[in-house]
Amino acid sequence: DAKTTQPNSMESNEEEPVHLPCNHSTISGTDYIHWYRQLPSQGPEYVIHGLTSNVNNRMASLAIAEDRKSSTLILHRATLRDAAVYYCILRDGGTSGSRLTFGEGTQLTVNP
Amino acid sequence: DTGVSQDPRHKITKRGQNVTFRCDPISEHNRLYWYRQTLGQGPEFLTYFQNEAQLEKSRLLSDRFSAERPKGSFSTLEIQRTEQGDSAMYLCASSLVLAGNTGELFFGEGSRLTVL
């Protein structure tokens, strides 16, 4: 599985934007970039995914570098509920429904 | 639909005992996954099913572990002769995989196992 590199932790203030980086220099052409997050004492939940173009949904935005070797998850206005571990995962799009391989993720702390 | 449900939520057992966890996926989902998570680590893949067929097993899944999905609906994960190293959160997830979609995973809240 292609690997991703994320900072261990980041901190933000409530109602400010948060940019969570992810490096994936060995990404292959068929790999989708997925983001999941895990709130305390819960299972992970899907946030967003993309292949080449930037993506927006109600939870977040995903900015993908032109060479696809890095990406950034953007939370536009952090809330206390966004405090979680955020996982950046590469998933082979050539094998639909393949498993996700989680790393250690980024622990996001949101200060009131 | 109430999402993915797992039972029991917590299990405390003595070393050497057998334990079984149950997962009820979202009803129309055809894929079911089991993961294990220890404190401070990301979830580790154990196995997954396409309907009732077990398609992939991790090398983490020793011969003491067995998973089934007999009718392509709920699944069970059994651990025989538990060891203290088996203490972890066991997470189940399901997804609907169709041609052209990426099948996002929906996770349950997990079953926490403590082996004394």
3-state secondary structure labels for all residues of B21-68: EEEECCCCCCEEEEEEECCCCCCEEEEEEECCEEEEECCCCCCCEEEE
Q: How far apart are CA B28 and CA B45, in angstroms?
A: 22
Question: Is the sign of the CA dihedral A46, A52, A56, A57 positive or negative?
Answer: negative
Contact in structure between B54 and B67 (CB atoms under 8 Å): yes
User: What pLDDT, in 10s, does the model give residues B26-78?
Assistant: 998 999 999 999 999 999 999 999 999 999 888 888 899 999 999 889 999 99
Q: Read off the pLDDT of each residue in B94-103 and give the average, rounded to a whole number.
A: 78
The answer to whether the peptide bond before residue B8 is cis (omega within 30 degrees of 0) is yes
Contact at CB, A43 and B33, closer than 8 angstroms: no
Q: Report the mean per-residue pLDDT for chain A.
A: 92
By Cβ distance, the residue of A41, A96, A101 closest to B103 is A96
Chain B within 8 Å of A92 (Cβ-Cβ)? no
Coil/strand/helix, residue B86? helix
Distance from CA of A40 to the nearest CA of B (A): 10
Residue B30, number of CB atoms within 10 A of its CB: 16
Chain B within 8 Å of A80 (Cβ-Cβ)? no
Contact at CB, A97 and B95, closer than 8 angstroms: yes
Residue B20 has pLDDT above 90, yes or no: yes
* pLDDT grade for A70, boundaries at 50, 70 and 90: very high
C-alpha torsion angle, residues A43, A49, A55, A61 (rounded to 10): 30
Count of pairs with CB atoms under 8 A, one residue in A, one in B: 58
Query: Tell me, what's the pLDDT at A23?
Result: 96
Chain B within 8 Å of A91 (Cβ-Cβ)? yes
Chain B within 8 Å of A41 (Cβ-Cβ)? yes
Q: Read off the pLDDT of each residue in A85-94 and give the average, rounded to a whole number.
A: 88
Query: Tell me, what's the pLDDT at A98?
Result: 75
Residue A40 has pLDDT above 70, yes or no: yes
Coil/strand/helix, residue A21? strand
Contact at CB, B50 and A105, closer than 8 angstroms: no
Amino acid identity, residue B2? T
Residue A18 has pLDDT above 90, yes or no: yes
Residue A11 has pLDDT above 60, yes or no: yes
Residue A74 has pLDDT above 60, yes or no: yes
DSSP state, A100?
A: P
Distance from CA of A51 to the nearest CA of B (A): 11
Instruction: For residue A31, give both structure tokens.
Output: 């790999």
* pLDDT grade for B101, boundaries at 50, 70 and 90: low
